[in-house]
Amino acid sequence: MNHDEQEHRPALPPSSEPLFDISRFEFEKLLGGRVFAWIGGFAVLLGVIFFMRSAVDSSWFTEEIRTVMAALGSFLLLLIGVWLHERRGHIEVARIAVATAIAGLYATAVVSTQTYELFSPVFGLEAAALIGVIGVLIAVRWSSMLVAGIGVLGALAAPLLVGAGTDGSSIAFVAVALAASVGVLLWQRWNWLALGAFAVSAPQLLAWVFQSEGSESTLLILAVLVGFWVLYVAASFGYELRSRSQGALAAASWFLLLASSALIVGAGYWLLDQTGDQIGLNAWIFGFAGAHLLLGGTAVRFGVHREIGSLLIGGGIGLASFGAANAFDGPTLVAAWSAAAASLAFLATRVDATPSPALSNAERLLFTAGGFLGLALLHVLAVEAPPSSIVYGVEDLGSSLVAIACCAAAALAFHHFGRQIEPYAATVAGFVGSAALVYLGSVLIIDVIGANDSGEAREIGQAWLSAFWAATGLGAVVWGMVRKSVNVRLGGLALLLVVIAKVWTYDLAELEELARALSFVALGLLLLVGAFAYQRFMPEKEDKTVEEAGEEEPQLYL
């Protein structure tokens, strides 16, 4: 190779050896500094357990000596961990050593009370509380969630660990431990650890409620449930109040809110249902609904977090709707569910609607609104105005019309508020609302004209129904052409197809000569008018100026 070729030879890429060395260094640091420490700590804990078991099997020492040895060994490991952290700076090893020591102290308390029965469960609770306090103090000083987790969760599980059961004193201990834990978790902003506290304390609370039913006063049990709910909400609401973040709502916060509300409201509902206190049951549900609405309004008013405020308000609306279902029936229930659907659809416009791989909070609220709307529609079609109503009429015309009108209003509100969030769902809701209005008119016509016992009156009612459907479909088509709305025109055409099918099947087969003639004449005239309108007024090309500008004309679905 000559000198020129060497001079113009492209430079070789930099050696990857330094990157390899850095990667190898990080791997060694992870394996030697953390993985080995974890394995070592776990091995020490298992070694203590195996030693205690072997000592029991071989009768090497008395139970008292075994307990003292385990306690001293765990306490010595605790001191070593503290010394390492404070003097040598071996942070990871120190934390694992302390975590292992705290777990060993809890195990010693469990064995000495449960297995050896050297101490009473009350003494075991006191020892567990002391261990938890030591663990929390160290965790706060070091800002270690690992140590705090073992200390906090161990203290909360102490009644189960030491065999104290789930009586009144045990649940009082759990309440005190939970209150202290919530304070520490809020101070350090360990919101994920709050979920662990909920997971450990909630089953004990439920066990106490189920066991105390009949032995404790209902008012006392309900008061305890409210107290635990306040603590759970404080852990979630307080975290958002402390952080003041307006980004995405932390998963731990919204999950803790939903889970705690479902747990407490459900437990209280079961208790009051067992006692048969209907008034107290309604007060319980509506009371929690009001509390959720108040908290949600506070969060929105004082800027705690927009999404947590909407979540609480949505939960309050949901509880109020559930309470309405429990307390009321008929059109009142439909009105409550419809109001919930409309309110949730409005709230969806007040929360973050940023597109994401998962559902946004706005989409969650909107689909929840759809669920309430679906419940209202199902109740109407099953109770107030079943499909047979357009043949035989309804039992109570006023109740039926109110129920159908509420559903129609809720569906149109869903359409109005949901257009910018979920256009397809909003379009479906618009068609549902329009269909509900048509159904309302149909029920009114049949009940007023065609529900008479006379066969002639029923047939005349069916003829009027066909004419009403055809006129409504034609009106929708004309309105759609005037407003250049494809959806409205399609809805009108769909209704015209339905009335054509009805006239050529049901009316032709079931109606007498006069009613049949009226149906066909009315349909034919209206179809001729519709065809003339299409040929005369339908433009060859839609005006896209409005759509291209990014604005859409308001559309009324008829």
With a cut of 70, say whether residue 218 has pLDDT above it. Answer: yes
Closest CA to 195 of 125, 112, 110, 255: 255
- Residue 348 in contact with residue 417, Cβ under 8 Å? yes
Q: What is the pLDDT of residue 453?
A: 55
**Predicted pLDDT at 1:** 46
CA atoms within 13 A on the CB side of 165: 8
**What per-residue confidence (pLDDT) applies to 227?**
95
Confidence of residue 325 (pLDDT cuts 50, 70, 90): confident
Question: Which among 316, 294, 297 has a CA at the least distance from the CA of 305?
Answer: 297
pLDDT at 34 over 90: no
What is the reported pLDDT for 262?
Answer: 92
Residue 263's pLDDT is what?
94
pTM of the model: 0.64
Mean pLDDT in residue range 382-394: 86
Burial class of residue 469 (count of CB atoms within 10 Å of its CB; 0-12, 13-18, 19+):
buried
Which ranges in 84-144 belong to alpha helices (H)?
Answer: 91-110, 121-142
Give just the sign of the alpha carbon dihedral 325, 329, 334, 339. Answer: negative
For helices 251-275 and 278-301, the axis angle rounded to 10 degrees is 160
Q: pLDDT tens digits, residue range 427-454?
A: 899 999 999 999 999 899 888 876 555 5
The pLDDT assigned to 180 comes to 85
pLDDT score at 477: 81
Give residue-wise pLDDT tens across range 35-75.
555 565 556 556 655 655 555 555 566 778 877 887 888 88
Among the ranges given (58-67, 199-208, 279-288, 314-323), the one the predictor scored with the smallest mean pLDDT: 58-67
| 432/373 Cα distance (integer angstroms) | 10
Dihedrals phi, psi of 483, to nearest 5 degrees = -95, 5
Which token pair is 316? 């309050």
210-219, 247-256, 449-458: segment of lowest average pLDDT: 449-458
Between 244-258, 329-343, 425-439, the lowest mean confidence (pLDDT) is in 244-258
Rounded Cα distance between 22 and 14, Å, is 15
Sequence-ordered alpha helix ranges (H) in 419-512? 423-445, 455-482, 486-502, 508-510
End-to-end CA, the chain: 86
pLDDT at 44: 59
Q: Which residue has the higher pLDDT, 300 or 185?
A: 185
Q: What CA–CA distance (Å, rounded) separates 385 from 389?
A: 6
Is residue 498 predicted with pLDDT exceeding 80? yes
Give percent of the chain with pLDDT exceeding 70. Answer: 77
Distance CA 46, CA 33 (A): 20
Return mean pLDDT, the chain: 78
